[in-house]
Amino acid sequence: MSDAATLGVHTSLTRMMMRRFLEHRLAVVGGVVLVLLCGLCAGAPLLEAALGLDATEVDLFARFEGPSAAHWLGTDELGRDVFLRLLYGGRVSLFVALTAALAAAVIGTAIGILAGYRGGWADALLMRLTDTVIALPLLPLLIVLAKVDLAKLGLPAEAAHGEAAQLWRLIAIIALFGWTTVARLVRGATLSVREREFVRAAEALGARSTRIMLVHILPNVMTPVIVATTLSMGGIVLFESVLSFLGLGVQPPMPSWGNMMTGAHELIWSHAELVLYPGGLIFLTVIAFNFLGDGLQDAFDPRAARR
């Protein structure tokens, strides 16, 4: 097949997948919501400067103010602007979700391809490792690991208790235990792809195993990776929110949607909006990621069940 014909086939497949995705209206809505949310959160410093406010400034004389031109969603128990804190909290929550999901996808893809292509004892060992991680009680384990004092592991005290250390520890914990779904999906896809003619031809020509896995197998197993990664982001947002709500994740003064709910849960009867705002954004983000993942699954797999 000529290069022009090959390009035409790929273009036709891309258009077909795009059409199937656009037919999934909830997925399109979810994608638009996530784009808008990420855009607002990314532009939080610009909006903060335009409004002439400081999201961290405490003003006890402006506590519990209602929505106004100066404070679009009012102020919290310390007189801080709620809208800006929601945007800065979204930057943290979405950054954790994106980074942890990508890290987990890389780990799971590497393990899945290695297990599926190598087979034999390597496959058995890696799959038993995967089964072991799946069997672990995830939330209690995350809570225990989040309480580990990094200073006792040899890190400098300032680095161990800094905001960046809290953030990256949370990402590492979620990534180290969130790769199992991707690993299983990639292994199954690899078992199918490794029997294809182009893989056999590469082996017959003496290509190294590493090249075969990276060049010939990896591009052909990316579909389940993309879908699983997208779907996992909603769950990671929930995990981060739960840990932060329990005081084991992102710690104040760095805002996240979870610790914003922690600071406001005692005020739920008098100022319920301080809980409803971050809780509503968590719900909206999770359901948008789920809709987007469903749409991508339908787009990549025409045999996927459609309602």
DSSP string, 116-174: HHH-HHHHHHHHHHHHHHHHS-HHHHHHHHHT--GGGGT--HHHHTSHHHHHHHHHHHH
Total-model pTM:
0.82
Task: Establish if 59 belongs to a structural domain.
Answer: no
Instruction: Return the CATH number at 230.
Output: 1.10.3720.10
At residue 105, the pLDDT reads 92
**Confidence at residue 306, expressed as pLDDT on a 0 to 100 scale:** 47
Q: For residue 68, tell me if it sits in a domain.
A: no
**Number of domains the chain is built from:** 1
Nearest in space to 27 (alpha carbons), one of 306, 265, 296: 296
Q: Which two tokens stand for residue 197?
A: 């003619």
Neighbouring residues of 81: CB distance < 8 A, sequence distance ≥ 6: 51, 53, 55, 71, 72, 73, 75
Q: Is residue 306 part of a domain?
A: no
pLDDT at position 11 is: 64
Three-class SS state of 92: helix
Q: Report the chain's terminal Cα–Cα distance, integer Å.
A: 37
Close Cβ partners of 229 (under 8 Å, ≥ 6 residues apart): 101, 102, 104, 105, 182
- 71 belongs to a structural domain: no
User: So what's the pLDDT on residue 153?
Assistant: 62
pLDDT computed for residue 2 by the predictor: 47
Q: What is the pLDDT of residue 163?
A: 65
Look up the domain containing 194 and give its range: 78-300
Determine the Cα–Cα distance for residues 39 and 90; give it in Å rounded to an integer.
10
Residue 278 lies in a domain: yes
Q: Which two tokens stand for residue 1?
A: 């097949």
The answer to the question of residue 238 being in a domain is yes
Counting as low any pLDDT under 50, the low residues of the chain are 1-7, 9, 305-307
Question: Which long-range contacts (C-beta less than 8 Å, at least 24 apart) are formed by 143-148?
Answer: 143/243, 143/246, 143/248, 145/173, 146/170, 146/173, 146/243, 146/248, 146/249, 147/248
84-121 pLDDT, tens digit each: 999 998 898 889 889 999 999 999 999 999 999 988 88
Cα–Cα distance measured from residue 72 to residue 297, given in angstroms and rounded to the nearest whole number: 38
pLDDT at 139: 73
- Residue 157 contacts residue 151 (beta carbons within 8 Å): yes
CA 152/CA 159 separation, integer angstroms: 12
pLDDT, position 279: 87
Cis before 278 (ω within 30): no
Residue 15, domain member (yes or no):
no
Residue 89 lies in a domain: yes
